[in-house]
Structure 1
Amino acid sequence: MNRLILFATLIVSVSAQFQFFDQFFGSQQQQQQQGGQEQRNVASDSSWFQQNWQQATCSNYLCPDTLACVHFPHHCPCAFPEVEDKVEIGEGIRVCASKGGFKEGETRRKIELARKGLI
């Protein structure tokens, strides 16, 4: 009787382990598939960007880094405004730089200091 209980416990334990691995690897496989199709990484070259660039339509100025359509080049938005500040620096040139601190305008101040050669 004890052997039968031990054997049954062993079978349940092994079965549970296989179910765990099956669910673990099965869920990873499910995550890789979306709507019956496997997700793919974008190309490691610029072909994806070039294709989107060629398909974009804009009657004014198409921003080269965000593909936003704006009236003037310095109106282009930053690609990641949550972590970047846009600073316009003379003659319609704009720069997107990592936010520079806790104070408003810190990025602009640091860029101006760098332009003057002070930092």
Structure 2
Amino acid sequence: MYPHNPFPLIVLALLASVAQAQFGFFDQMFGQQGGQQQQQQRPQNVPSDSSFYQAQFERMHCDNYLCPDTLACVHFPHHCPCAWPNHEDKFETGDGHRICVSKGGFRAGEASRKVELARKGLL
């Protein structure tokens, strides 16, 4: 049978939710949830050696030039793309290679200006 006055049930439900919230807070503080130890899966850090990179490099096939930093296959070293084109500007050097420079600065062309200053030995 259902009681005619729902007030005691509402109060009981409210007290239960407050108790759950209170103990839930302590469970979270001590790394437990619902009385069970919660195992959080975190990705592992990459190894501090170059074996992963070497394995990727050795697995690549390129008839021309394999860019060492992006593993792109291009015809010439200066055709290599920058690894982060949204954040880097690419500049070709006089010896047929390229460099990637962080865009930085507050004005368009700031990286280009700094590269030119460095080429002239002024930076």
Tell me how far 1:118 sits from its aligned partner.
Answer: 1.9
Contact 1:86 1:95 in 2 (8 A): yes
Q: Which is higher, the Rg of structure 1 or of structure 2?
A: 2
Structure 2 CA distance for aligned equivalents of residues 92 and 80 of structure 1: 20
| CA displacement 1:56-107 (0-9 Å, x = unmatched) | 1111111001111111001001111111111101121211111143213x32
SS in 1 for 2:100: strand
Aligned to 2:91: 87
Q: 2:50 aligns with which of 46, 52, 55?
A: 46
Q: Residues 83 and 17 from structure 1, CA distance in 2 versus in 1: closer, same or farther, beyond 3 angstroms?
A: same
Aligned to 1:75: 79
Aligned to 2:63: 59
Q: Residues 100 and 89 from structure 1, CA distance in 2 versus in 1: closer, same or farther, beyond 3 angstroms?
A: farther
Tell me how far 1:110 sits from its aligned partner.
Answer: 1.2
**Identity percentage of aligned residues:** 58
Structure 1: stretches of 5+ with no match in the other structure: 1-7, 33-37
Structure 2: stretches of 5+ with no match in the other structure: 1-11
How many pairs does the alignment contain?
105
Structure 2 CA distance for aligned equivalents of residues 95 and 12 of structure 1: 60
Contact 1:78 1:96 in 2 (8 A): yes
Tell me how far 1:109 sits from its aligned partner.
Answer: 2.1
Structure 2 CA distance for aligned equivalents of residues 12 and 94 of structure 1: 63
Q: Are 1:97 and 2:101 counterparts? A: yes
SS in 2 for 1:113: helix
Tell me how far 1:12 sits from its aligned partner.
Answer: 4.9
SS in 1 for 2:45: coil
Contact 1:85 1:98 in 2 (8 A): yes
Q: Residues 13 and 47 from structure 1, CA distance in 2 versus in 1: closer, same or farther, beyond 3 angstroms?
A: same
Tell me how far 1:39 sits from its aligned partner.
Answer: 3.6
Give the TM-score, by structure 2 length: 0.68
Q: 2:111 aligns with which of 107, 112, 116?
A: 107
Give the TM-score, by structure 1 length: 0.70
